[in-house]
Structure 1
Amino acid sequence: MEISHSFIVIFLFAQKIPALEAQSVCTYDPSVRHCSCLPLNFNNILSIISCISASSFEFIGGNYVNAEYFNTFNVELLQAQNEVQSQLTKISFVNLVLSEDFLFDFIKWLQKIPVTLLSFENTTFVGQYNRTPEKQQPHISSLQFINVSSHPLIQTDTVFYGLGNWMSTLGKLTVSKSNLKAFPCNISLNFEFMSDLDLSENLIQEEGLSSSFCSGAFPILKILKLQHNNLANFGSVCQTLRKYNLLAHLDLSQNNFSSMSNFICDWQPSLIRLNLSYTGLKHVDIGLPKNCEVLDLSHNKIEMLNISLTRLRELYLSYNAFTTISPMGNLPFLQVLAVDGNLIETINRGQLQHFEHLRSFKGDNNPYTCSCSFVTEMREIAETDWIVQKWPEGYICNSPSSIKDMLVDDVNRSFFECHTHLLIVLICIIVLLLSIAIIICFVKIHRSNKTRSSRTDSRISNSVQF
């Protein structure tokens, strides 16, 4: 039987790096071709053989500080490297301590092994890298740092040297939950082919943003995620990022723009997706990208909207303070509208028909007043070609009290309940007519009695004369 490249990789790697000189215990999931290795003191080579067909590997726990393992078995490692033919989808290190020297040797060993993603999660980096950089670069498409105690490749007190040279070819980089405040400019300038950058859940402020995105940095950037940082000045963010002519997707959610003054920003034409959810916005009088196609303003404090975005296709307004759907401005090509979790009490079909190209609507979790007309309108809306998300389970009556907490679609009110005012009018008219009839009858009876009395008096008078 021919030994696969995955087996060679994991076999040699597991022998060279285990903590406490113990072999790893590896388990294999054939459904996803994933191998997970724990650094336990268990000497069983069969656990490694079980990963013969794996395309992704995960090393959990341990202390990978000693880089001498690679030097000791250098010949064997190079032979294994030459046997590798296909690409590994992911190699990840989780919950461990890793030296920079060890990382250098490991990445050097990967020079001829294509890897889609190299990931470090809950990892502590130790030591100081001080080696001569390699000319040949590994084939790693994406690099990920999540909740690392140190990020030596991007520290502010080191020059982008050694380990940094191979990162210049990266297409995607994630550094999240790592207390990052900035990329030094001299480091950012090296990311010549970076198109996707995720810096979510860090400590970046406007000054650090300006330093990270200095002139010439990230020249082909298309996707940028700055979710949950310490940004507060929307105008400053715009001024820093507007020079990226290829930027198409910008995520600024979970920052605080609640106190910003009115600012009109002329965003680049390439920007078509903007996320401003959870940013404390009360008014949308800020500069929005003119070519925006997807806009997320959910989880803010917005009460009304009047914007003109002629290319907007998707608008998310969930969990704001809207009391009505219209008017919202000039949105001629809107296809997806979400207004769930607001203060909207009623919706009619005409409000939605205003958006001629609408195909998907989400309006659940609003305090609906279930009048007969609203119930009828919602059923008609649900029967259209529109996709009404969360219907019927998410549309619940808040009033009147007799049907509170009932599903809108379950409400069956009688004719008289639906036409109470008409019934009152009819009753009043009937009472009035009856009253008039009674009065007329009374008058007729009174006149008849009066006539009879007159006739009787006349007869009596005639009898007396004879």
Structure 2
Amino acid sequence: MTKTNSIIFYFIVVLELILTEIQLSDGSELIIRRPRANLTHVPKDLPLATTTLDISQNNISVLQASDIILLLKLRVLMMSYNRLQCLDIGVFKFNPELEYLDLSHNELRVISCHSTANFKHLDLSFNAFDALPICKEFGDMSQLEFLGLSGTKLQNSSVQPIAHLNMSKVLLVLGDTYGEKEDPGSLQHISTRILHIVFPVKREFNFILDVSVSTVVNLELSNIKCVVEDSEASYFLRALSKLGKNERLSNLTLNNVETTWNSFMGILQCVWHTPVKYFSISNMKLQGELEPRDFNYSDTSLKALSIYQVVSNAFSLSQNYLYSIFSNMNIQNFTVSGTRMLHMLCPSQVSPFQHLDFTDNLLTDLVFKDCRNLIELKTLILQKNQLKKLENTILMSAEMTSLQELDISQNSLSYGGGGSLCSWTQSLLVLNLSSNMLTDSVFRCLPPKVKVLDLHNNRIMSIPKDVTHLQALQELNVASNSLTDLPGCGAFSSLSVLVIEHNLVSHPSADFFQSCQKIRSITAGNNPFQCTCELREFVKNMGQVSGEVVEGWPDLYTCDSPASARGTPLQDFHMSPLSCNTVLLIVTIGVTLLVLAAIVAFLCLCFDLPWYLRMVFQWTQTRHRARNTPVEELQRDFQFHAFVSYSGHDSAWVKNELLPNLEKDGIRVCLHERNFVPGKSIVENIIHFIEKSYKSIFVLSPHFIQSEWCHYELCFAHHNLFHEGSDNLILILLEPIPQYSIPSNYHKLKTLMARRTYLEWPTEKSKHGLFWANLRAAINVKLVNQAEAMCHIQR
């Protein structure tokens, strides 16, 4: 083993040790499981509250009292498949609650007994004992229900200690050397309802053991080998013939049988005349030829015969004889499974068969063709055979007037859809057509009174509109097909159970629960649900009934698309009604726009919103230009922040409003009546102080356009705007000026008012604050030369 593999193995073992320690929710049971952990001794770290300990399939060779002395609550101990060679039952004297002990499949040879009266299950089978390991103390186990023993010697004396116990089951495993000192009647002292005897493997059956224990109801015999018809077969047949003495015997089971065809028929005939009601044979190997002989069907108690897993090496076999023997049996239940049987004949007369099971054979469409003698048959199972055409099966069933259950699953059935061949028996109630090659057409021909219909794992893509109306159908299984929607209940008015998982259902019908009022169980998980608006109503309906009706909800119901929602449980998928209703969305958007328009209109009418917006825009533009103007430009040798040009008629507003609101923040304003230099001409003063001012403010009004000097100042400032490349003009519209009232020689004023944004003086006092904020933002700059400039020339 490589180092990597060793690490992986160690990790798996550790993980298993962790995961197998289970504490039940109510705290009453503490189960420790450590099988296949490569243990060589009982673990020392077991919790004291352990009630069940499973340490089977390890390498433990010694069990001592100190290993389990502290486990006072231990009730179950499983140590099968270890290497124990000796056992002292006294080690369990400190475990008063121990009632289940499994020490099978060890190497035990010696056992020491002590008084232990609490065992209900004691398994010492498949060990190396010579004589049966029955101590006299076993007689005190009044509660013993199961006893497993093994040994090579059976004697009356060894069984006597437990003769008075009434056990449910005894398992007796005989060693390879059994038979040398055989006591034929040793088992007659055992009192049990179920007896299972395992004979030595690969040993011919030449024993004279009497297996007809009077108290046994169920008898099971394993490892029967009698291939020589004149010796071993006679031994075994004599043993079976003695079963007639036990009137209580009801069930007989033979496992791992190796014999000849003739001996097999002899065994069958022998059991036929015993009290056995239910006879089962499994794992049988047959060889040799089959010689036809009469079979006596009279005087039998047999009700059911089951034959499982038969292998034959016969190259030539009279099959018709064999099929004839089987078909004419006067019993109710007959099962032949895993035998590679090719055919089955129709009974020669009306048959009492009520249950026929031919699972896992090679039967074809010819089976029971034109058979009219199975009128008592209620259940027919033809699962895993070679059936091809459903039409042939329909014709076969038409003659079975009492047939209620038909299982023809796991074949290769197809249906052509011919309406004339749709003649199912009217009595059929349960039909299993799963795992075939059936398509949508099968819904056009189904038994009219069927209640349970299984069509899972076929090739069905949709349920056609002209489906057979099945008014009695209660359960429908169409899982693992290619259906894209849930079937409505128009044709299935009584449907109560629907299984439709593992299909292609992406947009299930939202009205399913409305159309299927009687539905009480639906399994629709593991489908590629597309989580869009169409699914909202279905999810809503699922959520309302999920606790009672929807199986697997919510774990098996997840979104498959869109990709952003893949894996999201349907119960967590939500979409607003607005996004899923186009009309509602359009109406909502329209109403919202109308409300916004009404709000804007109200603001415009009541609060003059356009004026506020225009002023905010101007303030923003001014701040933007100030940030983009070079510092050197802003800090030029200006003396004034602003040169104000206005008409004398507006001087009151300038002196009472403009100057106080600007100069209180340190803004220096140049006015002609106080700052022009005496002795200079008016033109020189205008040019000089416009150049020494950062901005030129023009207070516009109807009086302004009547002043010649105002016109001159405007022209010079406009010339300076283009010459300097600066943005030094601020227009304040004190009063409205109609365009028609502006003289033609004031073309520069018209141009400026058309191209430049001007500030309007609001009449409402509430708007004055925003007006002054805009004006201050436009002219506020730090001047380098703080000297005052004075001029006193009056205009």
Cα distance in structure 2, aligned partners of 1:376 and 1:170: 55
Q: Is the 8 A contact 1:348 1:377 kept in 2?
A: no
Cα distance in structure 2, aligned partners of 1:427 and 1:31: 85
Which of 42, 55, 61 is the aligned partner of 2:218? 55
- CA distance 1:456–1:81, shift in 2 (3 Å): closer
Give 2:402's aligned amino acid. L
Mapping for residues 133-282 of structure 1, pairs under 5 Å: 133-134=295-296, 136-150=298-312, 157-159=319-321, 164=325, 168-185=329-346, 188-189=347-348, 192-206=351-365, 208-209=366-367, 212-258=368-414, 260-264=416-420, 265-282=422-439
Cα distance in structure 2, aligned partners of 1:127 and 1:347: 61
Cα distance in structure 1, aligned partners of 2:601 and 2:199: 100
Which of 445, 452, 474 is the aligned partner of 1:313? 474
Q: Is the 8 A contact 2:337 2:361 kept in 1?
A: yes
**Higher Rg:** 2
Mapping for residues 450-465 of structure 1, pairs under 5 Å: 455-457=736-738
Cα distance in structure 2, aligned partners of 1:424 and 1:437: 20
Q: Is 1:106 aligned with 2:267?
A: yes
Cα distance in structure 1, aligned partners of 2:165 and 2:610: 120
* Distance apart, 1:314 and its partner CA: 1.0
* Distance apart, 1:156 and its partner CA: 5.1
Cα distance in structure 1, aligned partners of 2:437 and 2:225: 42
* Distance apart, 1:365 and its partner CA: 0.9
Cα distance in structure 2, aligned partners of 1:98 and 1:424: 85
Bigger shift: 438-447 or 170-179? 438-447
Q: Is the 8 A contact 2:531 2:573 kept in 1?
A: no
* Distance apart, 1:251 and its partner CA: 1.5
Give 1:260's aligned amino acid. G
Q: Is the 8 A contact 2:226 2:233 kept in 1?
A: no
* Distance apart, 1:272 and its partner CA: 1.3
3-state SS, counterpart of residue 283 of structure 2: strand
- CA distance 1:347–1:293, shift in 2 (3 Å): same
* Distance apart, 1:166 and its partner CA: 11
Bigger shift: 373-382 or 48-57? 48-57
Cα distance in structure 2, aligned partners of 1:278 and 1:353: 31
Give 1:180's aligned amino acid. M
The aligned counterpart of 1:89 is: 251
Cα distance in structure 2, aligned partners of 1:413 and 1:236: 51
Unaligned residue ranges in structure 2 (runs of 5+) = 1-162, 615-732, 744-795
- CA distance 1:216–1:267, shift in 2 (3 Å): closer
- CA distance 1:126–1:418, shift in 2 (3 Å): farther
Q: Is 1:300 aligned with 2:464?
A: no
Q: Is 1:128 aligned with 2:290?
A: yes
* Distance apart, 1:318 and its partner CA: 0.8
Cα distance in structure 1, aligned partners of 2:239 and 2:381: 41
Q: Is the 8 A contact 1:250 1:271 kept in 2?
A: yes
CA offsets, 1:264-316, max 9 Å, x none?
Answer: 41222111111111221221354211111111111112122142111111111
CA offsets, 1:347-396, max 9 Å, x none?
Answer: 4663123122211111111112335544433211214xx43222222222
Which of 540, 548, 561 is the aligned partner of 1:376? 540
CA offsets, 1:72-120, max 9 Å, x none?
Answer: 6988865x435302133341333x4222343344344432222313223
Cα distance in structure 2, aligned partners of 1:317 and 1:166: 35
Cα distance in structure 1, aligned partners of 2:364 and 2:280: 27
Q: Is 1:405 aligned with 2:567?
A: yes
3-state SS, counterpart of residue 145 of structure 1: strand
3-state SS, counterpart of residue 377 of structure 1: helix
Give 1:350's aligned amino acid. D
Q: Is the 8 A contact 1:7 1:49 kept in 2?
A: no
Q: Is the 8 A contact 2:169 2:194 kept in 1?
A: no
The aligned counterpart of 1:360 is: 521
Pick 1 or 2: higher relative contact order, CA cutoff 8 A, min separation 6.
1
Cα distance in structure 2, aligned partners of 1:461 and 1:103: 132
Give the TM-score, by structure 2 length. 0.46
* Distance apart, 1:407 and its partner CA: 2.9
Cα distance in structure 2, aligned partners of 1:130 and 1:320: 48
Give 2:483's aligned amino acid. F
Q: Is the 8 A contact 2:519 2:549 kept in 1?
A: no
Cα distance in structure 2, aligned partners of 1:254 and 1:289: 19
- CA distance 1:361–1:164, shift in 2 (3 Å): same
Q: Is the 8 A contact 1:89 1:115 kept in 2?
A: yes
Give 2:231's aligned amino acid. E
Mapping for residues 442-453 of structure 1, pairs under 5 Å: none
* Distance apart, 1:61 and its partner CA: 6.4
Cα distance in structure 2, aligned partners of 1:397 and 1:321: 18
- CA RMSD between the two structures: 4.8
* Distance apart, 1:38 and its partner CA: 4.5
The aligned counterpart of 2:277 is: 115
- CA distance 1:417–1:178, shift in 2 (3 Å): farther
* Distance apart, 1:442 and its partner CA: 8.1
Cα distance in structure 2, aligned partners of 1:436 and 1:379: 42
- CA distance 1:66–1:347, shift in 2 (3 Å): same
The aligned counterpart of 2:229 is: 66
Q: Is the 8 A contact 1:7 1:52 kept in 2?
A: no
Q: Is 1:339 aligned with 2:474?
A: no
Give the TM-score, by structure 1 length. 0.75
3-state SS, counterpart of residue 128 of structure 1: coil
* Distance apart, 1:123 and its partner CA: 3.0
Cα distance in structure 2, aligned partners of 1:259 and 1:413: 43
Q: Is the 8 A contact 2:197 2:221 kept in 1?
A: yes
* Distance apart, 1:249 and its partner CA: 1.1
- CA distance 1:344–1:360, shift in 2 (3 Å): same
- CA distance 1:20–1:138, shift in 2 (3 Å): farther
- CA distance 1:406–1:180, shift in 2 (3 Å): same
Give 2:450's aligned amino acid. C
- CA distance 1:72–1:399, shift in 2 (3 Å): closer
3-state SS, counterpart of residue 140 of structure 1: coil
* Distance apart, 1:202 and its partner CA: 2.1
- CA distance 1:82–1:406, shift in 2 (3 Å): same
3-state SS, counterpart of residue 388 of structure 1: coil
Q: How many residues align?
A: 435
- CA distance 1:49–1:130, shift in 2 (3 Å): closer
Q: Is the 8 A contact 1:200 1:229 kept in 2?
A: yes
Q: Is the 8 A contact 2:202 2:225 kept in 1?
A: no
Unaligned residue ranges in structure 1 (runs of 5+) = none
